[in-house]
Amino acid sequence: MRRITIEARPDWRQRAADCGFAFHTIDGQPYWDETAYYAFDLRQVEDDIEDPTAELHAMAMDLANEAAGSQELMERLAIPDHARDQVAESWRRRDPHLYGRIDLAYDGRGPARLYEFNYDTPTSLYEAAFFQWDWLERQREAGVLPGDADQFNAIHEALVARFVEIAGRLPAPLYFAASEGSAEDQGTVDYLRDCAAQAGIESGAVTVEGIGLSADGRFTADDDAVIASLFKLYPLEDLFADEFASALPGSGLRLLEPPWKLVLSNKGVLPLLWERHRGHPNLLPAEFDDGGELPGGWVRKPLFSREGANIEMRFEDGRLLQQPGPYGGPAIRQALHPLPDHGGAYPLVGSWVVGDMACGMGIREDDSPITRDSARFVPHAIIGDGRRRMVLEA
């Protein structure tokens, strides 16, 4: 895994505009960054990213099955009492899920290590699935990348296929919702809505703020149309804390992601997985936070936190790195395993799962060991076949 510096395409902003990529710059700072790319070989991608992603996902689904039937586990995960029956019933129905992102620390040599699951409202999707592939094709055409350069990226095709697969289990109409104040969130749901359209699904759009409740207890869009199914880029834990949460059970509304994803979009799965798979090469030691210490340093994460907010990182030499934020409540501690340092750039691998298939990755890069919401998206390419090289070197 190498970080290779290159010249950005002089017309990339125009290309982004042509493709509808409206959030390539956020608050005046670059979000999409093509002044570098990360180069992998095929062995690294297949053996160190794709296969472990599939295995971690299977482990997570086994845990979801266990937790959905256990009041004790749901209590450990801080799932509120009033949400537990909905979580359990959603799992019993096997309500369909769409996608998720597994965040991994990987340096190109040792096994990738699980940082966390983003299985409810993961973003960086459009740029991973579409725009970095467009970058790859154009850089191959320009001769900047070898003609046989590839990418671990079948995300778009997997999304369309998944919508085809679950369409019959989502009552019509299907609406897509995000906060009206976030260009990134709006761009993500617009992209997903386009994938649904390619799968033959008719859909509507609504802002989270525009969703209402009718007199007979049905959720509605701005024009008072009933919402039967809803993809919401809005955290489940916030939804169940909302004033309208009590209306959910009787509303008939089907959610995408479904309520059972509340189990997996929760940092508490990290110690639970460690308890069940202690010593697994892709897991880090983790425990529910009781104020104790983990040897060699630790990272403290609230159960329901996002984008690096409220993370505390204690290094082995006693240094403490903290990121402020709005999240509190119970937390976990995970053994410290710092991201690789490429001259002050710290890349985090986001490995995508659509349905139950590992199908691509995107890399977010920060100037800090904590990946924050200001992290840049940097494309990747597969250059060469590591297996062939190992044979030749032997």
Interval 225-232 mean pLDDT:
96
Express each pLDDT in 174-185 by its tens digit.
Answer: 999 999 989 999
Express each pLDDT in 192-206 by its tens digit.
Answer: 999 999 999 999 999
| The overall pTM is greater than 0.85 | yes
Q: Is the pLDDT of residue 250 over 50?
A: yes
Express each pLDDT in 100-115 by its tens digit.
Answer: 999 999 999 989 999 9
pLDDT at 368: 95
Interval 204-213 mean pLDDT:
95
Q: How far apart are CA 339 and CA 151, in angstroms?
A: 22
Interval 365-375 mean pLDDT:
94
pLDDT at 293: 72
Q: How far apart are CA 197 and CA 59, in angstroms?
A: 32
pLDDT at 290: 85
Interval 299-314 mean pLDDT:
94
pLDDT at 385: 83
pLDDT at 389: 38
Q: Is the pLDDT of residue 390 over 80?
A: no
Which has the closest alpha carbon to 286: 109, 121, 116, 58? 116
Interval 79-97 mean pLDDT:
96
Which has the closest alpha carbon to 182: 26, 33, 30? 26
β partners of residue 364: 348, 377
Express each pLDDT in 1-24 by its tens digit.
Answer: 999 999 999 999 999 999 999 999
Interval 297-313 mean pLDDT:
94
Contact predicate 216/161, CB 8 Å: no
How many Å separate Cα 10 from the centre of its chain? 30
